[in-house]
Amino acid sequence: MNQDRNDYDSPWKEALEKFLRPFLALCFPAVEAQIDWLRDVVFLDKELQALQPDTEAGRQFVDKLVRVFLRDGGEAWILVHVEVQSQPDPGLAERMYHYHYRLKQVHRHPVVSLAVLADGDPLVRSGSFEEGLLGTRNRFEFPTCKLLDFSEEQLTGTANPIAPVIRAHLVALRWRRDSPHRCQGKLELLRHLNRDDYDRDTLYQLLRLMDWLLPLSPPQEHSFRQELLKLQPEKIMPFVTSFERFARQEGHQAGRTEGRLEGRMEGRQEGRQEGLHAGQMEALKEAIRDVLSTRFDQVPHELAVRLESCTDLDQLRRWLRQAVAAPNLATASQHLD
């Protein structure tokens, strides 16, 4: 089981905000069926943050509080908790109880508490908290969804957009970022996404979330990019963001290094900004050269000269998209002119 420290919480926060209804439909269908989806859904982040103690900063879990209206006309606040740590948290049930109690106490609204158990231990099934003393007893129960319980058939046999997010999470749990199995799992997810009938915006969001949940080591990232370019251009076009993300990471790192050196020498903010700009440009140029050499086995001299002389970041980003999408080298050369 993979024990790498992954950034699970950030992509899950975004997934819940963008795909709340599909998430509930797949993980808590009885709850989804009772909500009036024709009325506004409001995320109550400030109300929830006010209840979270500072001691929980940096913990790997996701809490989202959502106000919805029910089909019977009533209003409910739904507290969705995603436990995204690779190791289960024995204090989960008690924390869920305290959040539930505090929300009702402070805001005076009915609260539905739901927990997604996204850890890698199949034996952990915490769905209740109980305390008692001298005959006084208090028991709190809440619905849970264990991601490990989903079968491959369940996740591949549905067009629900939260299914590939769960698949990506499970791949990340199983394989380390330097494993070729993770790289192959990420490629298979991409192929499956392109087979499903998602609209362009949904596909783009899912690709971003998958890329976020499944970071790769530099060698595996390089292998992934090479395999990605073997797919049909129209299929990989939405994933060009992966190249741009890679270029931005390299550019920011190069820019920070170069900017610090130049800034120290000249003692000016301009040095740091110029260093960052230069690093981003060089990273984008390297990405374009990599795409052309991988897809067409060469970078013509004329293109290399024009590429080297370009100093416009927006132009370089457009060229990267053209290098990925062009069906042949002649078309790529024309577009890069």
25 and 145 together in one domain: yes
Domain check: are 145 and 235 in the same one? no
d(CA 297, CA 123): 50
Estimate the crossing angle of helix 200-213 against helix 180-195, to 10 degrees.
170
- CA gap 69, 134 in Å, rounded: 40
In a domain, 88, yes or no: yes
Choosing from 131, 149, 167, the residue where a domain stops is 149
Interacting residues of 200 by C-beta distance below 8 A, sequence separation 6+: 238
Among 112, 130, 149, residue at a domain's last position = 149
Is the pTM here over 0.75, yes or no?
A: no
CA distances from 200 to 54, 139, 155, 225 (A): 39, 46, 20, 21
- What's the pLDDT score for residue 134? 92
Give the pLDDT of residue 271.
46
In a domain, 216, yes or no: no
208 occurs within a structural domain = no
Are residues 32 and 145 both part of a single domain?
yes
Residues 26 and 145 in one domain: yes
Structural domain contains residue 59: yes
Based on the fold, state whether residues 250 and 145 are members of the same structural domain: no
Count, residues in the chain: 337
Would residue 190 count as lying in a domain?
A: no
Residue 154 lies in a domain: no
Does residue 248 fall inside a structural domain? Answer: yes
Number of compact structural domains in the chain: 2
What are the pLDDT tens digits along the chain (337 aa)? 554 555 677 788 889 999 999 999 999 999 999 999 999 999 988 887 777 665 454 455 678 889 999 998 888 888 888 876 666 778 888 988 988 888 888 888 888 999 888 888 888 888 889 999 999 999 999 999 999 999 988 898 888 999 999 999 999 989 988 899 999 999 888 888 767 678 877 887 888 888 888 888 888 887 887 777 676 555 555 555 555 555 545 444 444 444 444 444 554 445 445 545 566 777 777 777 777 776 677 777 778 888 888 888 778 877 877 777 677 777 777 766 6
User: Which range marks the domain in which residue 314 is found?
Assistant: 229-337
Residue 162 included in any domain: no
The C-alpha angle with vertex 132 and arms to 128 and 135, in degrees rounded to 5, equals: 130
Both 110 and 240 in a single domain? no
**145 shares its domain with 246:** no
- Listing DSSP states for 100-142 in one string gives HHHHHHHH---EEEEEEE-SS-TT----EEEEEETTEEEEEE-
Q: How many helices (H) and strands (E) does the chain have?
A: 16, 7
